[in-house]
């Protein structure tokens, strides 16, 4: 009997088509197009707010005519630039201007040109939209504006119960809790997204930290330093908070998060000897993991050996952050970020050559908002222009590789900049 031979070509062809269709269905029906999942609160804009009686508009500048200092502080903060931030704009281009980003980066309905009616199956790219006739042109440029946090139902909400103001006010206990930050700073994962706590899960990292709660530290303790002053022009002096929200865009703030200490063995090396360095990096000042927030953020720890002429003869670099596989599903493979008060040792060994008389080791810690690769991609394909810094050197120190090394190492503890571990910074926490 003759066996019928199966012809390979058509079978392979069919198989390719079937796989292609499955992949297409997976990407269009199951895998979300954005890197996070939806939650009821931020799936929608903060509902439309009318102007409170007694005020001209909801514009921050108008609030600023009476709340001058708060307005000036807010203006310098990243909240005021959450929409025009060039990194946001570039990534938003990449995501084809999908509406959902605005719900945190320009969160009030008054700031959004389109009204969302329905989000079928939570697929944001298929949302049905109609023009928002109450949209105030240009208001989106204020990003996270005053009214996004303070105005509800035509009333200004705040932390006091006894204001005498030209606008209606209401005491709201949430202002002195982390509740104020939850909506936008606890971005959750969606289907087929396996993060270690959400892409911008700062809130979840803090929640797990009993230490912060025991000490009574809330987000505002570190990100909105205490101040005593009139809160409005001509008003009484009160205890309030500065509207600064410094974070990853401010090298001074990042410096506050870390403490660094370097030791060497032997502490007084001579040419021909092997030296072992240990750098201890401590999360001494943040109430959550460092780095936190945006999954692109990372630290790098570098050791560089420089010869007498300043040429690099050896270089070692390590990174601290999250390693995420973005395709075909989002999978966080590894997370070596530091929890509050946790520390990590970085080792570096070097055999000093005989001729190394006035050589040095340079120790450097840098904070990266993006990787060089992503920065390049955003510039080439998504309209990132300008030269906004995206890498900050937050610790840099040269140590001599000779018998004076021990003196340089001892001097670390008296260095006012960083030196040994010191708990956060006494003047901003509280
Ligand atoms: C014409 C001046 C003026 C304007 C404009 C103004 N305020 Fe006020 N606001 C005041 C005064 C005065 C107080 C009370 C100060 C006090 O008692 O210490 C106040 C109080 C507040 C409080 C504290 C409320 C509480 O009881 O906790 C908040 C919050 C506030 N304003 C926010 C805003 C915002 C947001 C805007 C803009 C949408 C705004 N204000 C516009 C004058 C103004
Ligand atoms: C309505 C949404 C919203 C709320 C509410 C909100 N934030 Fe933010 N926050 C943002 C967005 C969006 C960014 C990122 C802006 C950017 O980088 O483009 C941000 C950035 C930050 C940063 C990083 C600054 C930097 O330099 O990278 C800090 C710190 C911060 N917020 C603290 C807070 C704290 C504390 C609260 C609560 C009191 C709070 N935020 C409430 C939306 C919000
Ligand atoms: C991300 C949310 C957020 C934004 C945006 C915001 N505030 Fe506040 N505001 C707060 C919080 C939280 C407090 C409570 C601080 C405290 O505990 O005293 C506060 C307090 C206040 C107070 C009372 C005084 C004080 O220091 O407590 C005033 C007045 C005020 N804000 C005005 C403004 C104005 C004006 C703007 C815009 C220029 C603005 N806020 C933007 C969150 C915000
Ligand atoms: C004990 C002080 C402290 C507390 C409490 C704290 N933070 Fe921070 N936070 C810091 C320091 C210091 C940094 C700078 C280090 C960094 O960016 O990794 C920072 C950075 C950040 C950033 C910027 C990340 C980036 O690179 O853009 C965000 C967002 C943030 N914090 C949000 C929060 C929120 C939300 C809370 C409350 C759940 C909170 N923080 C509580 C100290 C604190
Ligand atoms: C639920 C609130 C929320 C939504 C929705 C959201 N973001 Fe953000 N985004 C944040 C917060 C909070 C931060 C600050 C985290 C930090 O500082 O590390 C941030 C930071 C960023 C940053 C880093 C900015 C910088 O200067 O480095 C980019 C880029 C960004 N978001 C893009 C987007 C895009 C694109 C979308 C829509 C696909 C989006 N975001 C949707 C809350 C949100």
Mutate to test the pocket of ligand 5, among 101, 326, 390 (most ligand atoms within 8 A of CB): 101
Residue 426 alpha carbon to ligand 3 centre in Å: 22
Nearest CA to ligand 5 atom 30: 88
Nearest CA to ligand 2 atom 12: 105
Q: What is the pLDDT of residue 196?
A: 86
Q: What is the pLDDT of residue 1?
A: 53
Question: Hey, where are the domains in the chain?
Answer: 33-170, 251-414
CATH superfamily of 251-414: Immunoglobulins (2.60.40.10)
**Are 364 and 396 a contacting pair, CB within 8 Å?**
yes
Which ligand is nearest to the Cα of residue 92, counting in written order?
A: 5
Q: Give me the mean pLDDT over the 80-87 stretch.
A: 97
Q: What is the mean pLDDT of the chain?
A: 91
Which ligand is nearest to the Cα of residue 142, counting in written order?
A: 3
Nearest CA to ligand 3 atom 35: 63
Which ligand is nearest to the Cα of residue 64, counting in written order?
A: 3
Q: Does 149 contact ligand 4 (Cβ within 6 A)? A: no
The Cα 190–Cα 184 span in angstroms is 15
Q: Does 90 contact ligand 2 (Cβ within 6 A)? A: no
Which residue did the predictor score with more confidence, 426 or 38?
A: 38
122 DSSP assignment: G
Ligand 5 contacts (CB < 6 A) are: 34, 42, 85, 87-88, 91-92, 95, 98, 100-101, 103-105, 184-185, 187, 200, 247-248, 293-294, 297, 369
**Are 304 and 247 a contacting pair, CB within 8 Å?**
no
The Cα 157–Cα 177 span in angstroms is 14
Q: What is the pLDDT of residue 141?
A: 97
Q: Does 108 contact ligand 2 (Cβ within 6 A)? A: no
Q: What is the pLDDT of residue 26?
A: 86
Q: Does 340 contact ligand 4 (Cβ within 6 A)? A: no
Q: Which of 364, 411, 365 is nearest to 267 (CA)?
A: 411
Supply 244's token pair: 């600064």
Residue 67 alpha carbon to ligand 1 centre in Å: 7
**pLDDT tens, residue by residue, 344-381:** 999 999 999 988 888 999 999 999 999 999 999 999 99
The Cα 111–Cα 298 span in angstroms is 32
Q: Does 104 contact ligand 4 (Cβ within 6 A)? A: no
Phi, psi dihedral angles at 115 (to 5 degrees): -100, 135
247 CB-side CA count, 13 A: 23
Q: Does 183 contact ligand 2 (Cβ within 6 A)? A: yes
Which ligand is nearest to the Cα of residue 365, counting in written order?
A: 4
Residue 203 alpha carbon to ligand 1 centre in Å: 28
pTM of the predicted protein model: 0.94
The Cα 254–Cα 202 span in angstroms is 15
**pLDDT tens, residue by residue, 109-133:** 999 999 999 999 889 999 999 999 9
Residue 223 alpha carbon to ligand 4 centre in Å: 7
H or E stretch at 115: strand 114-118
What residues are paired with 48 via a beta bridge?
none
Q: Which of 395, 394, 399, 388 is nearest to 360 (CA)?
A: 399
Q: Give me the mean pLDDT over the 279-295 stretch.
A: 93
Nearest CA to ligand 3 atom 29: 231
3-state secondary structure of 160: coil
Supply 410's token pair: 């001892």
* DSSP string covering 349-391: EEE--TT-SS-EEEEEEEEESS-HHHHHHHHHHS---S----E
Supply 303's token pair: 């050791």
**Are 352 and 394 a contacting pair, CB within 8 Å?**
no
**pLDDT tens, residue by residue, 40-76:** 999 999 999 999 999 999 999 999 999 999 999 999 9
């Amino acid at each position: 009997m003759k066996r019928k031979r199966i012809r390979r070509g058509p079978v392979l062809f069919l198989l390719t088509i079937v796989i292609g269709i499955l992949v297409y269905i997976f990407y269009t029906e199951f895998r979300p197009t954005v890197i996070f999942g939806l939650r009821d609160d931020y799936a929608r804009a903060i509902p439309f707010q009318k102007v409170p009686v007694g005020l001209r508009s909801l514009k921050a500048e108008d609030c600023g005519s009476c709340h001058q200092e708060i307005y000036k502080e807010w203006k310098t903060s990243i909240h005021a630039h959450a929409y025009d931030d060039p990194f946001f704009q570039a990534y938003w281009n990449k995501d084809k201007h999908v509406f959902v980003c605005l719900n945190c980066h320009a969160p009030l309905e008054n700031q959004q040109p389109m009204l969302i009616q329905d989000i079928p199956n939570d697929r944001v790219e298929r949302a049905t939209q109609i023009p928002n006739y109450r949209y105030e042109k240009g208001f989106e440029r204020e990003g996270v504006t005053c009214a996004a946090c303070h105005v509800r139902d035509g009333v200004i909400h705040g932390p006091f119960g006894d204001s005498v103001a030209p606008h209606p006010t209401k005491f709201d206990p949430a202002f002195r809790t982390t509740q104020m930050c939850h909506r936008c700073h606890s971005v959750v994962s969606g289907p087929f997204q396996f993060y270690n706590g959400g892409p911008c899960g700062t809130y979840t990292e803090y929640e797990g930290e009993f230490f912060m709660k025991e000490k009574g530290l809330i987000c505002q303790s570190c990100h909105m330093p205490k101040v005593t002053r009139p809160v409005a022009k001509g008003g009484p002096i009160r205890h309030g908070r500065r509207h600064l929200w410094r974070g990853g865009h401010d090298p001074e703030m990042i410096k506050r998060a870390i403490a660094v200490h370097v030791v060497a063995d032997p502490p007084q090396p001579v040419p021909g000897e092997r030296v072992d360095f240990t750098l201890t990096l401590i999360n001494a000042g943040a109430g959550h993991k460092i780095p936190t927030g945006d999954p692109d953020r990372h630290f790098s720890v570098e050791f560089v050996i420089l010869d007498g002429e300043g040429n690099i003869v050896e270089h070692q670099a390590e990174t601290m952050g999250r390693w995420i596989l973005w395709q075909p599903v989002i999978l966080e493979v590894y997370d070596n970020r530091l929890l509050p008060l946790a520390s990590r040792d970085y080792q570096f060994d070097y055999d000093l050559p005989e001729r190394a008389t006035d050589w040095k080791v340079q120790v450097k810690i840098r904070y990266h908002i993006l990787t060089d690769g992503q920065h390049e991609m955003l510039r080439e394909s998504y309209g990132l222009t300008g030269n906004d810094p995206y890498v900050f050197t937050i610790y840099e120190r040269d140590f001599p590789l000779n018998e004076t090394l021990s003196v340089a190492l001892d001097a670390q503890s008296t260095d006012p900049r960083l030196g040994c571990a010191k708990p956060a910074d006494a003047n901003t926490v509280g």
